[in-house]
Structure 1
Amino acid sequence: MTQGHSVFSTHEVSNQPQPRGARDLWADDAPLRDWAKATGADGAALADAGAAFGTEDMLQAAEDARRDPPRLKLFDRSGRRLDEVHFHPGYHQVMDLGITHGYAASAWEGKKGGHVTHAALCYYMAQLEPGVSCPLTMTYAAVPALQNDPALAEAWAPKLTARHYDPSVRPLSAKQGVTMGMAMTEKQGGSDVRANSTAAVRMGDHYRLTGHKWFCSAPMCDGFLTLAQAPDGLTCFLVPRWLEDGSRNTMHLQRLKDKLGNKANASSEIEYHNTLAYRLGDEGAGVKTIIEMVHHTRLDTAVAPAGLMRAALAEAKWWVSHRSAFQRRLIDQPLMQSVIADLALDWESALALAMGCAAAFDSEAEEDRAFARIAVALAKYLSNKRAPGMIYEAMETLGGMGYIEETPMPMLYREAPLNSIWEGSGNVICLDILRTLARAPLAGEVLMARLQRVAGADARYDAALKAHLDRWPALPSEAEARWFTESLASLLAASFLIEGAPHAVADGYVATRLAGQRGATAGAVSGIDVAAIVARI
């Protein structure tokens, strides 16, 4: 990166770190490399992608996609409906990057470690431009849901996994690669999708939908999985965006959402006006059909906070390593070291949870599938609850510069709450965990076996596990569901770290997150191996 002039008539610019510029998201991330190796990810593919995701061109494309947000174009100049969203070219550059490197495809190509490879790509994208993760994640997650209809799967799945990005307005048959979105939520129901009022009427081999959707993410996708009330109950449908005769399906955009963050992504409100749709699964089995898509999108909502935290922490580490105060580099000051090390424990635990969950997704064994179902909900809850506070503290290490839009910190801070809300907010996830443990005993059994597997390695961990079991010998009441979930998720994170992370990280996490050797704010710690933890960043 070419440096700007630093000498002026009034002063000389000094003690100001240069912007980080290009970075290698694989070579610079030792914990990711460790977990990728341990979980069987495709290291060569991730090394290639890690370099590509961090180039200056891609960083600029991502910045452009946020700075020049999507624009809604409802009509052409003659008054004909278009229902299109126009994006800055940078958006398409980043989408193409994700598609060609296998964000949507790697899990379904039959290679070992496909889901952990996908998880690492999601982790990369959270550091580059989280807004495009939405259509990429839904394209990835639609593939297992489509298995409910062999004909639809045959037509759509190969193009969802084609590693070819084509944003043109053309029907399925005219494209090599396509993307898939989702439209489930309605105004009156939110997460209670059984309250949906959109109606579906059968018309021979297809249906026609009429109704509204309060949230439709990425409305320029080529197809959407959606829910509507058919004669036999709530049913899942595939809605093609563009029809094979060259016309536009009557899926009408109402407005784009003006969101706190996620600015590059065009979340929208839509209405179906006699919209053509194809049934996916049986009538009345809508929730059962779409649950596989939801399950896989939840994996990405558990991975993304680790990426956001990584990006914030890397920026903070860069700043404190290149700036001095009171005649000492910030990173050499013991209190700053404690803050950075404490923040690193949140990131390391989130990454461990994410990769551990993804590894379970790669297995077809019944026990691993049961573990994946419960573990991904625990990871989603804990990592996303920690992310906003952690990112704020990382922002504060930059002082006033952390509050300036020219740094990535404000963007990361605005993104931090999103993944906790998407695919089930905190209460929904906690209640889902209770239902899973009540209705699927195997999930509880394999989770407990996982927690017991590291028993004896750390007396503080053993004490925390015993305290949990003593407090909740059975499932808790709904009122205690958050406490129960937080405790269980913290223990699961510790178990992964004890088994797979360096001693300094596992010891620091157990001491501060399980044994209570930590105050209420970041950096309020002592007695942990600060130097070893910081060196991992």
Structure 2
Amino acid sequence: MATHEVTNQVPPLVDYDPAEYPVVLEALHRADAGHALDELHEVGRLAGSAQAQEWGDLAEAHPPVLKTHDRYGHRVDEVVYDPSYHQLMTKAIGFGLHAAPWADDRPAPHLVRAAKMSIWAQVDAGHGCPMSMTYAVVPALRANPELAARYEPLLTSAVYAPELRVPATKLGLTAGMSMTEKQGGSDVRANTTTAAPQPDGSYRITGHKWFTSAPMSDFFLVLAQAAGGLSCFFVPRVLPDGTRNPFRLQRLKDKLGNHSNASSEVEYDDTVGWLVGAEGRGVPTIVEMVNLTRLDCILGSAAGMRVGVTNAAHHAAHRSAFGATLIDQPLMRNVLTDLAVEAEAATLAGLWLAELTDRAVAGDEQASTLRRISLAVTKYHVCKRGPIHAAEALECLGGNGYVEESRMPRLYREAPLMSVWEGSGNVAALDTLRAMAKQPETLGVFLDEVKSTVGSSAELDAAIARLEGEFGDFETMQYRARRVVGQMAQVLQGALLVRYGHPAVADGYLRTRLAGDRGDVFGTLPLGIDTAAILERSTPKLA
């Protein structure tokens, strides 16, 4: 016998199209990339489906398992994934979220890929790692034209081929990078892994890598010390003769989040590799790969914010308390609107950086210079905002948000990764200073970009003036790096919103983030913000 009737529970957020997010659609229209709208909505409809959400749940619930030996005792060093992971990889590569932009001659391929990536990211974060690395490896690999000519067509292929085989015999490839070591972390120049040249032109690599994600990728770019200094090497899992390259998986990392992605420790023991770029030029060779994976960190953090505010708004629109729907309660509207403003600003910045990537790849030197400093600035700030945004979005669901079935705890666990990966907060902030020191023109280009909006907003004009004042004392700049870089990021986001954003979102951002009319947590917006217009843009539309 039933004891009660369930009421006032929120319907599942399923069978909707998350690509109906105005800030993404507007970015594609601005770039004359309307040709990609059908593709984007195809990604969105699947991302919002029950089927794709189940794949993500299963991949999270059944993490990869390390298999070091076969039944006969032979070393195999393989990782076994849940079938759902392979479903996700098949779809992601089919959607072109890997290296596809490098072979796409349509307008704005990197922006289009960023837009699709930001929508698909809500299904599962872990399989985004091999997507990101495969995307980012191409410009670095081009430092060895012979290797690039052989493997780039397979990297851009729309076929997912997970089995370990000779790379040249496969229909599609994925790639990774293997840089950090126990003693150095981000300080890769402290690496001790060595590379000894061989008569046939190859090198033999020996050493240990502390973090190597997606170890079942077909090849890796590996940093090792050669006679000429720290160098970059192409290291395949399977050698051209069909034998396994020594690639000893010692263990998989037990991580806070990102459970569907295998992150491993690897021993290289006389492992065969080929030089990419010149000896001693390992960091400059791989730096563009790092820049592109940093772009994906920004997109990932922004996507997490969008997912958080979407789920919070959906919950509030269907849940009642104290006689009214939550979304109609003034204080909840304040919180949701504040979260939505943050998500839109972060998304706009990430997509703008992707558009700069298109221009830089096409040979625009000014775009390349602006992108160099803006990537570091935005990586620092947006990825730092992710965890506190996730925490507030989770709280909007109350106790239901703390339960795993809501998927909000998974969002919360994922959020810190984007700040840690590809350089923690300090590394990103200091990299901004390094850019200004090595390429002084970067600061001028950055300031010119934000000052192009002067006269549009009193709050923005005042913030730009304050920012310029921060550069009068370079002796203490390293101590003040987080403060200054955070200001740079907020001024940049404010300028982008003034130029491209919705007026209500821009107003909310400028009055709070730049003029300082807010408290120290989300939900402290001042009176006069157009909450209705902002929430309309962030509340999902169910079919």
1:473 and 1:175 map into 2 onto residues whose CA distance is 56
1:74 matches 2:68: yes
CA deviation after TM superposition for structure 1 residue 121, in Å: 2.3
* Residue in 1 that maps onto 2:406: 407
Q: What is the distance in 1 between the residues matched to 2:126 and 2:135?
A: 15
**SS of residue in 1 equivalent to 2:472:** coil
Match of 2:111 in 1: 116
Count matched residues: 529
User: Residue 156 of structure 1: CA displacement?
Assistant: 1.2
Cross-structure match for 1:533: 534
- Aligned AA (1:268): S
- Counterpart CA distance in 2 for 1:132 and 1:201 is 34
How far the C-alpha of 1:532 sits from its partner, in A, is 1.2
The structural deviation recorded for 1:474 is 5.2
Given that 1:106 and 1:117 are in contact with CA atoms closer than 8 Å, whether structure 2 keeps it comes out as no
Q: Read off the aligned partner of 2:117 and give its amino acid letter.
A: C
What is residue 431 of structure 2 aligned with on the other side? 432
Once the two structures are superposed, residues 473-508 of structure 1 have per-residue CA deviations (whole angstroms, 9 ceiling, x without a partner) of 354521000000000100000000000111110011
Which residue of 2 is the match for residue 105 of structure 1? Answer: 99
**In 2: Cα distance, 1:288 partner to 1:194 partner:** 12
Out of 3, 15, 19, the position equivalent to 1:22 is 15
| 8 Å Cα contact 2:204/2:272 also seen in 1 | yes
C-alpha distance in 2 between matches for 1:233 and 1:292: 19
TM-superposition CA deviations, 1:331-374 (whole Å, max 9, x none) = 01010000000001110110011011111100121000011111
Kept in 1: contact 2:180–2:186 (CA 8 A): yes
Aligned residue type for 2:106: K
Tell me the secondary structure at the aligned position of residue 13 of structure 1: coil
2:289 maps to amino acid: M
* SS of corresponding position for 1:362: helix
Instruction: State the alpha-carbon separation in 2 of the partners of residues 487 and 530 from structure 1.
Output: 25
Q: 1:221-236 counterparts in 2 under 5 A?
A: 221-236=217-232
CA distance in 2 between counterparts of 1:147 and 1:259 reads 33
Q: How does 1:147-296 map to 2 (within 5 A)?
A: 147-203=142-198, 204-296=200-292
* Secondary structure of 1:229 counterpart: strand
* Aligned-partner Cα distance in 2 for 1:141–1:159: 14
- Post-superposition Cα deviations, 1:312-348, rounded to whole Å, max 9, x if no partner, equal 1111111000000011000010100000000011101
Determine if contact 1:171/1:246 at 8 Å carries over to the other structure.
yes
Tell me the equivalent position of 2:541.
none
1:50 Cα deviation from its structure 2 partner: 1.9
Q: Secondary structure at the match of 2:24?
A: helix
- Specify the code of the residue in structure 2 equivalent to 1:489: A
Aligned residue number for residue 37 of structure 1: 29
Separation of aligned partners in 2, 1:205 and 1:254: 28
Structure 1 residue 32: Cα displacement: 1.2
Write the distance in 1 (CA, Å) between the matches of 2:320 and 2:299: 34
Instruction: Specify the code of the residue in structure 1 equivalent to 2:165.
Output: R
SS in 1 for 2:518: coil
* Cα deviation, residue 377, structure 1: 1.2
> 2:210–2:265: 8 Å Cα contact kept in structure 1?
yes
CA distance in 1, matches of 2:106, 2:158: 15
**For 1:275, what is the secondary structure of its paired residue?**
strand
- The alpha-carbon deviation at position 39 of structure 1 amounts to 3.1
In the alignment, what sits opposite 1:518? 518
Name 1:135's counterpart in structure 2: 130
Larger mean CA deviation between 337-346 and 44-53 belongs to 44-53
Partner of 1:385: 384
1:179–1:222 CA contact under 8 A, matched in 2: yes
Write out per-residue CA displacement over residues 501-533 of structure 1, whole angstroms, 9 at most, x where no aligned residue: 111100110001000110001101222111111
Measured against aligned partners, the alpha-carbon deviations of 1:268-287 in whole angstroms (never above 9, x if no partner) come to: 00100110111101111101
Q: 5+ residue gaps in structure 1?
A: 1-7
TM-score by length of 2: 0.96
- Aligned residue in 2 for 1:4: none
Alignment pair present for 1:145 and 2:145: no
Task: Say if 1:208 and 1:274, in contact at 8 Å, map to a contact too.
Answer: yes
Q: TM-score, normalised by structure 1?
A: 0.97
- Per-residue deviation, 1:114: 0.9
- Aligned equivalents of 2:473, 2:354: Cα separation in 1: 28
**Residues 105-142 of structure 1: CA distance to partner in whole angstroms, max 9, x if unpaired?**
34212221111111112212321111011101000000
Residue aligned with 2:233, SS: strand
Matches of 1:62 and 1:74, distance apart in 2: 26
Tell me, in whole angstroms, the C-alpha distance in 1 between the residues paired with 2:99 and 2:188.
28
- The alignment partner of 2:479 has SS state of helix
Structure 1 equivalent of residue 472 of structure 2: 473
AA aligned opposite 1:470:
G
Distance in 2 between residues matched to 1:130 and 1:433, nearest whole Å: 27
Q: What pairs up with 1:303-382 in 2 under 5 angstroms?
A: 303-363=299-359, 364-382=363-381
Check whether the contact 2:390–2:411 (CA below 8 A) recurs between aligned residues. yes
Q: Distance in 2 between matches of 1:39 and 1:376?
A: 19
Please say which of residues 119-128 and 332-341 is displaced more in the overlay. Answer: 119-128
Instruction: Give, in whole Å, the separation in 2 of the partners of 1:121 and 1:239.
Output: 30
Unaligned runs of 5+ in 2: 539-543
Distance in 2, Cα, partners of 1:144 & 1:474: 36
Match of 1:3 in 2: none
1:299 and 2:295 correspond? yes
Identity among equivalent pairs (%)? 45
* 1:508 equivalent in structure 2: 508
Instruction: State the SS of the aligned residue for 2:404.
Output: coil
SS at match of 1:130: coil
Distance, in Å, in 2 between the alignment partners of 1:371 and 1:327 is 51
User: 1:436, 1:471 → 2: CA distance?
Assistant: 16
Secondary structure of 1:73's partner?
Answer: strand
- Measured in 1, the distance between the counterparts of 2:131 and 2:329 equals 42
